Amino acid sequence: MKMGNQSYFKVLIICLIAIIGSTHAQLQPGFYAKSCPKAEQIVLKYVHDHIPNAPSLAAALIRLHFHDCFVKGCDASVLLNSTQTNQAEKDAIPNLTLRGYEFIDTIKSLVEKECPGVVSCADILTLTARDSIHAIGGPYWKVPTGRRDGIISKAADTFTSLPAPFHNLTVLLTLFGNVGLDANDLVLLSGAHTIGVSHCSTISTRLYNFTGKGDQDPDLDNEYAKNLKTFKCKNINDQTTLIEMDPGSRNTFDLGYFKQVVKRRGLFQSDAALLKSSTTRSILAQHLQSNEKFFTEFGRSMEKMGRINVKIGTEGEIRKHCAFIN
């Protein structure tokens, strides 16, 4: 069938609208370049002014970003406070040990002062996590922006979406798979455990009562377990002592965690799980070869994680305060 000039014109217009529509409907570098040109700079400056004095916050912030993205997508749902009728993600058991909320709230208030109601908490959290890791000498990755904030946050969702320290490899791969991440991403992103701390209570059953018979997890290096029991986690009921996941370099983003894991010294069962298949073992071995390659690929996986089920266009909202929906 032959189309007249006018029909061609119509088709062209429709195509243009479709193209414009679709480019708006995805994350893009510098989404705020026109609407709030200083936004990314404000985040970066605050991070540079504060993270060097409090490097342990970098760990808290990247973990917050991870928890956000795995539950309902990267939409800052993790930042919402509970209300009288709703228990938010923040108040679920896995979140008891999350930190860094005030840091995000402060940056948000600075950005709001510059351009009220324009920049999402979801983007601020994503940018802050990236800049904080880079500020402690870790990798850098691209953060396209344009995420919008969710209006729903339910504690119960964390139990079905978030990996737990006692999960085995099958469950971990399923939970990562559910959000479009693969075995390679699982190994690489677990590499974030090269910084930060855990509570003794998170690993006390591995040390003291693995199968309910007063035993130790055989997957944990015996020498290391003895050391932890003698000097760190002295009894099964210790709720407060913190232990470094990469001893001696908790603020240095390096291959330390992978080295621990292959020595069977990863703190969680989910860390030990990475040794349970030839696929994940070979991914580990591969990344142990080069810090530079680890940084590049970690960044690639982070960028991927930052795209999980993002809300864009007219979905969600731009929150005024990260702890509350508008």
Ligand X SMILES: *[C@@H]1O[C@H](CO)[C@@H](O)[C@H](O)[C@H]1NC(C)=O
Query: According to CB under 6 A, which one of 171, 275, 312, 318 is a site residue for ligand X?
Result: 171
Residues of the chain by 3-state class (helix, strand, coil), percent to 5: 55, 5, 40
Candidate segments 4-12, 17-25, 37-45, 166-174, binder of ligand X by CB under 6 A = 166-174
CB atoms within 10 A of CB 277: 14
Residue 50 interacts, among ligand HEM, ligand X, none and using kind-specific CB cut-offs from 5 to 8 Å, with: none
Instruction: Tell whether the torsion through CA atoms of 210, 178, 257 and 145 is positive or negative.
Output: negative
313 vs 148: CA distance, rounded Å: 8
Question: Is residue 323 a contact point for ligand X (CB under 6 A)?
Answer: yes
Residue 243: strand pairing partners? 198
301 vs 184: CA distance, rounded Å: 8
Binding residues (CB under 6 A) for ligand HEM: these are 59-60, 62-63, 66, 97, 99, 163-165, 167, 172, 186, 189-190, 192-193, 195-199, 202, 268, 270
> Does the annotation flag 139 for ligand binding?
no
SS3 of residue 266 by DSSP: coil
> Does the annotation flag 89 for ligand binding?
yes
290 vs 295: CA distance, rounded Å: 9
Between residues 106 and 290, which has the closer beta carbon with respect to ligand X?
106
284 vs 35: CA distance, rounded Å: 42
> Does the annotation flag 167 for ligand binding?
no
Question: Is residue 91 a contact point for ligand X (CB under 6 A)?
Answer: yes
Is 321 a catalytic site residue?
A: no
Candidate segments 107-115, 165-173, 258-266, 279-287, binder of ligand X by CB under 6 A = 165-173
Q: What are phi and psi of 144, to 5 degrees?
A: -65, 150
Positions at the binding site for substrate: 163
Positions at the binding site for Ca(2+): 68, 71, 73, 75, 77, 89, 194, 246, 254
Residues marked as catalytic: 67
Q: Which residues bind ligand X (CB under 6 A)?
A: 81, 90-91, 95-96, 98, 168, 170-171, 209, 212, 236, 323
